[in-house]
Each structure stands twice: as structure tokens, then as C-alpha cells.
């Protein structure tokens, strides 16, 4: 079994059980009777048929965040500066450029794919491994996409909302992004070694803590003011994904034929 296959299986192992468990527990999500027209239509519009199960996962994640992730993130903020955290974010973003390049190619956005390639080459060398972002300064700003958005441009529907254990807000379509991101990294092209494996895990952990640190205030504000934080996070996630997809759809830089592309619902 190749290293790529092992990584792919490991990545799938993170998401497939969660999806299977959500499907198996779907019987717990009971829709209002169709005779209750208003309630039934509202339930359908939410596209959250697994809401009872999703809320269980949300509550578990919330406890893990309250007693572990948030304290770690607060300690991290205490011992670092905003500048350091920005560089950590740039480094993590640079590691994701090859995956973005592949997704842009699959979407038919070859110019964006070229931008991602240039960004990776420039920032990995002149930017010292991506710690700095000189590519933006010379006219190659970061553009974002992922495999979930790529599937959307192919016409794959979003599917029901999911709140995945450990990962948080997602959907059936977007959950496919996790294994793709896992193995579409520069580390996969390097020879396997214990040191490289340790580096990968360390980078992932640092990225998670750094991201959580940047979200301390927004998350605290939502929890303090929202009547239903679960519903608020669900709404914000959907708005964010819809905005990202709209930006991709509106880009006027497609240079490849539209063989398969259909707007997703």
C-alpha cells in the first residue's frame, strides 16, 4: 500500500464514520407532520433533517471547546503577538495552495490555478516556506476554493446540513473536502519519514489552535447574544458557503470549456 493510499484511508477514516453515524441516526430526526403545513415547510427549508443528532454533536463539540480548545487558544494568544499569528496563518495557507490549484483546475479556472501555483512557488522560496506572503505584494493575491465548492460548480447539491464531531458545521457535499485536503498537501510528494509525519501532525495542531485563537471574540459574542447558538452557527456557515460559491460563479476568467459545469442549488 502506497503512502498516498494510507493517507487517503486515514483521511476517509476521519469523515466516513461521522457520515455513516449521522445517516444511521437519521431516524432520530422526526419531521413535523405534513398536515402542519407551516411547520413542515419551515423544517424543509432548513434542510437539517438530522437536527436532533446534529445538536448532540454540537453540544459535545461545545464542551470540548469550552474546556480544552478555548483555554489552549487563550494561552496561545497570551504568549504570541498578532504578527506571529498572522505568519502562522500564512504558513498554513501556503500549504493549502496545491490543493486550491487542483480544485481551480477542476473548476475550469486555469488563471486562478496559475495564481495558486505562482503563490506557492514564490511564498515557499522568497517567503521562507510561506511564513511571509510576498506573492500578494507582486500582484498574486490569495483566492480561495476547496473540493466542496468544486463539487458545487459541477452541480452536486449541498445535501443536508451536518454538524460533524470535532470538525463542526458542514454538509454532505462539503464533508468530501476533508479527505481531499488531507492528502493533497506538499508533504505527500515527499518521501515518507517519521520526522515528516510528526511535522504534519504538529502543523495541523498549530493551525487549529491559531484558527481558534482568531475566533475567540466572534464565538464568545455569538454564545453570549444568540438565543440559539446552534441555529446561528448553521446560518452563518450557510451564508459563508453561499457567498464563496457566488464569488466563484461570478469570476470571469474561465478558459476551459464548460463540459460539466452546472450551478448547484
Contacts of 45 (CB under 8 A, 6+ apart): none
pLDDT of residue 94: 96
Distance between CA atoms of 147 and 99, rounded to whole angstroms?
Answer: 8
| Residue 209 falls inside a structural domain | yes
| Residue 29 falls inside a structural domain | no
More confident residue, 80 or 261: 80
| Residue 38 falls inside a structural domain | no
pLDDT tens-digit map of 81-128: 999 999 999 999 999 999 999 999 999 999 999 999 999 999 999 999
pLDDT band at 29 (very low <50, low <70, confident <90, very high): very low
pLDDT over 70, % of the chain: 76
| Residue 229 falls inside a structural domain | yes
Q: Which domain covers residue 12, as residue numbers?
A: 3-20+53-250
Q: Say yes or no to pLDDT of 11 above 50.
A: no
Backbone φ and ψ for 108, nearest 5 degrees, come out as 90, 10
Q: Which of 59, 21, 7, 40 is nearest to 186 (CA)?
A: 7
pTM of the model: 0.77
State the CB neighbour count (10 A cutoff) for residue 96.
20
More confident residue, 190 or 262: 190
pLDDT band at 6 (very low <50, low <70, confident <90, very high): very low
| Residue 255 falls inside a structural domain | no
Mean pLDDT, the chain, rounded, equals 83
| Residue 184 falls inside a structural domain | yes
pLDDT tens-digit map of 201-248: 888 899 999 999 999 999 999 999 999 999 999 999 999 999 999 998
> 127 to each of 82, 91, 93, 132, how far by Cα in Å?
18, 9, 12, 4
**Look-up: residue for cell 466542496?**
148
| Residue 164 falls inside a structural domain | yes
| Residue 40 falls inside a structural domain | no
Q: What's the number of domains the chain is made of?
A: 1
pLDDT band at 143 (very low <50, low <70, confident <90, very high): very high
Amino acid at each position: 500500500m502506497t503512502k498516498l493510499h494510507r493517507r487517503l484511508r486515514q483521511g476517509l477514516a476521519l469523515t466516513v464514520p461521522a457520515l455513516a453515524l449521522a445517516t444511521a441516526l437519521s431516524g432520530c430526526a422526526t419531521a413535523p407532520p405534513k398536515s402542519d403545513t407551516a411547520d413542515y415547510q419551515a423544517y424543509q427549508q432548513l434542510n437539517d433533517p438530522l437536527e436532533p443528532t446534529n445538536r448532540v454533536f454540537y453540544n459535545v463539540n461545545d464542551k470540548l471547546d469550552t474546556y480544552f480548545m478555548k483555554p489552549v487558544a487563550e494561552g496561545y494568544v497570551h504568549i504570541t503577538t498578532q504578527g506571529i499569528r498572522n505568519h502562522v496563518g500564512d504558513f498554513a495557507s501556503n500549504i493549502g495552495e496545491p490543493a486550491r490549484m487542483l480544485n481551480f483546475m477542476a473548476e475550469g479556472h486555469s488563471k486562478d490555478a496559475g495564481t495558486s501555483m505562482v503563490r506557492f512557488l514564490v511564498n515557499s522560496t522568497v517567503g521562507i516556506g510561506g511564513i511571509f506572503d510576498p506573492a500578494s505584494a507582486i500582484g498574486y493575491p490569495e483566492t480561495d476554493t476547496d473540493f466542496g465548492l468544486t463539487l458545487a460548480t459541477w452541480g452536486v447539491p449541498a445535501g443536508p446540513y451536518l454538524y460533524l464531531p470535532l470538525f463542526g458545521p458542514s454538509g454532505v457535499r462539503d464533508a468530501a473536502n476533508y479527505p481531499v485536503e488531507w492528502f493533497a498537501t506538499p508533504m505527500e510528494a515527499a518521501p515518507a519519514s517519521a520526522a515528516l509525519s510528526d511535522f504534519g501532525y504538529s502543523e495541523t495542531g498549530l493551525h487549529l489552535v491559531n484558527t481558534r485563537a482568531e475566533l475567540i471574540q466572534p464565538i464568545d459574542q455569538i454564545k453570549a447574544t444568540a438565543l440559539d447558538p446552534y441555529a446561528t452557527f448553521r446560518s452563518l456557515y450557510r451564508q459563508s458557503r453561499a457567498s464563496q460559491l457566488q464569488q466563484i460563479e461570478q469570476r470571469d476568467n474561465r478558459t476551459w470549456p464548460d463540459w460539466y459545469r452546472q450551478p448547484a442549488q
